[in-house]
Structure 1
Amino acid sequence: MSEIESVGYRDVPDAEGGAAGRRWWDANAAEYLAEHGTFLGDADFRWGPEGLTEAEAGLLGDVAGRRVLEVGAGAAQCSRWLATQGADAVATDVSHGMLASAPALDAAAGVRVPVLQADARALPFADASFDVVFTSFGAIPFVPDAARVHAEAARVLRPGGRWVFSVTHPLRWAFPDDPTTRGLTASRSYFDRRPYVEQDAAGRVRYAEYHRTVGDHLRDVVAAGLCLLDLVEPEWPSWNDQVWGGWGPERGAYLPGTAVFVTQKPAAGAGIGALDSARTPLPARSTA
């Protein structure tokens, strides 16, 4: 792969930016898993670098006997954990490089989940075929048209099902990608939606990551016909001393790094106003 020549926040054609993610993850899958595999586990489910687990948070609800789809699954660590909880889980990712590591993790964990290479914007599943759809930092940051991801999640969800997704907390976009106190001073506009882009000497986009404000995410959810149940902002726990890119205990003590949006598709025949009273209560969360 060509060396990166320039980095910065700039507009690029949607087709180029949207296609870069697959190539980047294919090329960097092994390095990513070598660096973060221990923290992620072979069959564990973390919502972000803070370390909040689904076992602690219960954001998907009771998954036993439920059909669950993970998009942007990487090597399917989260889906593997869900299988141990009785879920009928399926994992998808656009990157063959990431999915290629799944069989080795299946063997190590003694848990196998089916994996499928698929773009989260065009899922190869029938309407209303899953009870839960989720992603932990997958798909949404790497495409210019995230509204299509939400629309597809809503399409394949059964009425009453949940779509839960975690992303870099939108507030972080205004601050340098620095895990130390140097990353505590805002250096760019929160409202600047130009993606972060890496290009080679020929001007080809090698990596693109897209920013959306909290309002942007909510509008995409509503446009897909979904309702927001909760917005979780995990605090940095005292046990976690790891540094992961711009995440770390020093800055994590002051600024949120992850946002988890919990949404639901209205039950058949139920208006949006009836959703809140019908939903499964979300559990209390501890940050200790």
Structure 2
Amino acid sequence: MERIIQEPDAPEPEATRRAADVTESSRANRGWWDRNADEYQIEHGTFLGDDRFVWGPEGLDEVEAELLGPPEELKGKDVLEIGAGAAQCSRWLAAQGARPVALDLSHRQLQHALRIQEGVGGRMPLVQADAGALPFADGSFDLACSAYGALPFVADPVRVLRDVHRVLRPGGRFVFSVTHPIRWAFPDEPGPEGLSVAASYFDRTPYVEQDDEGRAVYVEHHRTIGDRVRDVVAGGFRLVDLVEPQWPAWNTQEWGGWSPLRGNLIPGTAIFVCVRD
């Protein structure tokens, strides 16, 4: 789970576990990403690159993983990236000859996408929208992807999956990565203190950071592995693979609660590869 990056004089938000519905989760997380996009890009921009497709903090790269298919087969494909952030993944897809559309809830994240786009050249559509209400016609895309975008933060993941299913053409593939559900049971710490179980894996109560008036300013939702599989099926997809990247020897950096220490012992990312029949 992420931590709030505070303004200098802003009071520390209260971290709690409580219910948070679709509307509250969307409002809180849009505000969080708008406020923290600058710091996020400064802190992680070098790792993410301008045009690299990375599935998570482990550094699994799509150029090697080929979870969307061989790079040479992406040419001419219409691809929707959900929770695109600064659109690094979409930029890589465009370099392979695909026609990506980068969608994000956060206006500020998309401003960073424009900034990078103006610096490196190339154009792609940037769309600000909620992942559960995609503003596209049925069957608009051949592929969809989401690298830690949307799914960890939404209260109703089946709603998102059904809408992705709707905008994909028959045979289309949706690949998404999320924090590995087992991490919910451990403290979000990169050191030894993050290796002891501190909560129930089966407790689905959302993690909420709220202001002094009780308004959510950040929300993250937990689903078990079984929940995620059932969500995929309820969304109309067929699950064809579940990838749990191992921590590579070359990656020596920490990213929040992700670290070489933890990554060599417990999984940090789960990637679901789904097909719309």
Specify if TM > 0.5: yes
Match of 1:95 in 2: 106
Query: 2:57 is matched with which residue: 49, 70, 73?
Result: 49
Query: 1:135 is matched with which residue: 140, 143, 146?
Result: 146
- Contact 2:20 2:155 (C-alpha < 8 Å) held by counterparts: no
* SS of 2:83 mapped into structure 1: coil
Number of residue pairs the alignment of both structures matches: 266
- Contact 2:244 2:270 (C-alpha < 8 Å) held by counterparts: yes
**CA 1:60 to 1:219, structure 2 compared with 1: closer, same or farther past 3 Å?**
same
Percent identical pairs in the alignment equals: 59
Cα offset for 1:43? 0.7
Instruction: Output the CA distance in 2 between the equivalents of 1:55 and 1:119.
Output: 28
Match of 1:34 in 2: 42
Query: 1:117 is matched with which residue: 128, 140, 146?
Result: 128
Match of 1:231 in 2: 242
Instruction: Output the CA distance in 2 between the equivalents of 1:145 and 1:191.
Output: 17
- Contact 1:29 1:97 (C-alpha < 8 Å) held by counterparts: yes
- Contact 1:236 1:249 (C-alpha < 8 Å) held by counterparts: yes
Quick one: which amino acid aligns to residue 50 of structure 2?
Answer: D
Quick one: which amino acid aligns to residue 161 of structure 2?
Answer: H
Instruction: Output the CA distance in 2 between the equivalents of 1:230 and 1:14.
Output: 28
Q: What does residue range 73-84 of structure 1 map to in structure 2 within 5 Å? A: 73-84=84-95
Instruction: Output the CA distance in 2 between the equivalents of 1:94 and 1:18.
Output: 8
Q: What does residue range 236-275 of structure 1 map to in structure 2 within 5 Å? A: 236-266=247-277
Query: 2:162 is matched with which residue: 144, 148, 151?
Result: 151
Match of 1:16 in 2: 24
- Contact 1:42 1:108 (C-alpha < 8 Å) held by counterparts: no
Instruction: Output the CA distance in 2 between the equivalents of 1:149 and 1:91.
Output: 16
Q: In angstroms, what is the RMSD of aligned CA positions?
A: 1.1
* SS of 1:101 mapped into structure 2: helix
Q: In the TM superposition, what whole-angstrom CA distance separates every residue of 1:65-95 from its partner, at most 9, and x where no partner exists?
A: 1100001000111000000001011100010
Query: 2:225 is matched with which residue: 214, 217, 235?
Result: 214
Quick one: which amino acid aligns to residue 132 of structure 2?
Answer: R
Cα offset for 1:114? 1.4
Cα offset for 1:13? 4.3
Unaligned runs of 5+ in 2: 1-6
- Contact 1:67 1:132 (C-alpha < 8 Å) held by counterparts: yes
Match of 2:4 in 1: none
Instruction: Output the CA distance in 1 between the equivalents of 2:104 and 2:25.
Output: 17
Bigger mean CA deviation after superposition, 11-20 or 157-166: 11-20
Instruction: Output the CA distance in 1 between the equivalents of 2:127 and 2:22.
Output: 25
- Contact 1:84 1:111 (C-alpha < 8 Å) held by counterparts: no
Unaligned runs of 5+ in 1: 267-288
Instruction: Output the CA distance in 2 between the equivalents of 1:196 and 1:31.
Output: 22
Query: 1:60 is matched with which residue: 50, 68, 71?
Result: 68
* SS of 1:3 mapped into structure 2: coil
Cα offset for 1:14? 4.1
- Contact 1:75 1:101 (C-alpha < 8 Å) held by counterparts: yes
TM-score, normalised via structure 2 length: 0.93
